Each structure stands twice: as C-alpha cells, then as structure tokens.
Amino acid sequence: MDTQTFERGYDTETYVANLRNYRTFVKRLMGEASANHDHVAALKDAAEGLDAPVRATMMTEDWCGDSACNTPVLADLFSRTGIEFRVFRGSEQTDLKQRYESEGATHIPVVSIWDGTGAELARWIEAPASVAEKKNAWKAEHPEFTELYERQKTDKDAAKRFASLYREFLEEMASWYKAGDWDDTTGEIVGQLRQARQNA
C-alpha cells in the first residue's frame, strides 16, 4: 500500500457523507460508537516502533451491513490511536479488490494495517466470530431471508420485501455491536497486529 494508493481512499467523514446506502443509520452510529479504551492503548503499543507512517484501510461496498455497523467504531479506534484510516469501495479500486480475492479474501469488509514501507501487517475480514454466529442463528430463524435474496434480482416484490427485512436485520446487528460486539471487532484487530509482531 503506497502513499499514492492510500490517498485514493476516502477519509471517514467523506465516505459517510457520500454513502449511497444506510447513510442515516451510519451517521447515527457515528455518534454512539466508542472504541474500548484498553484496545486503543493496546493498538498504540502494538504499533510502537513500526516503520512510519502506520496506516489502516477498509475495502468494502456501501451495501455491506457489517461495514455499516463497524465503520463508526473503526473510525474512532484509528483516530484515537493516531493511525490514519481510509475507506475504499472495491468496485472503484479493482486492483485492491483483485489482490484480496486472489489471496482468498472473498468477503467484506477487509480491514488492513500497513507499515510505512507499504507492507501489510494485519488483516481482519467481515465480522468478529461472535457476530458471525449470531448472523447464522438469525438467518436460520428467518428462512425467508435467503429465499428473498435469491429472488430479488428478478422479482420487484421480492426485492422490496428483502430490503425491508434486511433493514430489520441491520438494526438487529447494530444492537449486537452496541451490546459488546464492537469490543470484539477492535479486540480481534489488536490481536492480529500483536500476533504479526510476535511472528516477525
């Protein structure tokens, strides 16, 4: 990740202001999210001594629910850690998207931490384990979710019903994150950088 590529990303304020999906939802969470104080301190410690500047990126798309829920806490985490953060839409930055996909990262968001040489130090994908389990359980309780998803591209009524159900799902996800899963997101990211430093 060189400086020229990094600068093509959106800062959080610009990204949120220009969201095509869930803008009001994300703006609301921006006012509620606060990264775990211990995780902020731990990330600062893990980044200490790395080639500067240490930077963070997130590759996603506007329709991604986990991105909508996590952008606020990631912005707070990296801001308080002093790590510059940029957001990329994979549909706009196809080289980055293809790089991730070629390395097996087929879900979004993909959050990476880079050192000043452009080397990727840590990579976190999609959602914390705790949320992945809850999403699977929610979908099992709402079998129409998958059915409507499959039909939405060719059926306008299914698309409308899916959009309504997805919004319900998104609010449920937000409740999980606010109840403690934001801590799981930031904790997993800190853990990955710590592990990378131990393995170096």
- Per-residue pLDDT of 146-179, as tens digits, reads 999 999 889 999 999 999 999 999 999 999 999 9
pLDDT (average), residues 101-114? 96
pLDDT of residue 98: 95
Single-letter code of the amino acid located at 61: E
pLDDT (average), residues 7-32? 97
Token pair for 73:
């806490």
CA end-to-end span of the chain? 19
Angstrom distances, CA of residue 191 to CA of 23, 39, 47, 137 = 30, 9, 12, 26
Q: How sure is the predictor about 197, in pLDDT bands with cuts at 50, 70 and 90?
A: confident
Q: What are phi and psi of 114, to 5 degrees?
A: -125, 145
CA distance 193 to 119: 13
User: Which CATH superfamily does the domain covering 3-127+180-199 fall into?
Assistant: Glutaredoxin (3.40.30.10)
pLDDT tens for each residue of 177-187: 999 999 999 99
pTM for this one?
0.94
Single-letter code of the amino acid located at 44: K
pLDDT of residue 13: 97
Contact predicate 157/134, CB 8 Å? no
pLDDT tens for each residue of 46-93: 999 999 999 999 999 999 999 999 999 999 999 999 999 999 999 999
pLDDT of residue 153: 87
pLDDT of residue 200: 67
- Chain-wide mean pLDDT for the chain? 96
CA distance 113 to 115: 7
Q: Is it the case that residue 6 has pLDDT exceeding 90? A: yes
Per the listing, tokens 């990262």 go with 105
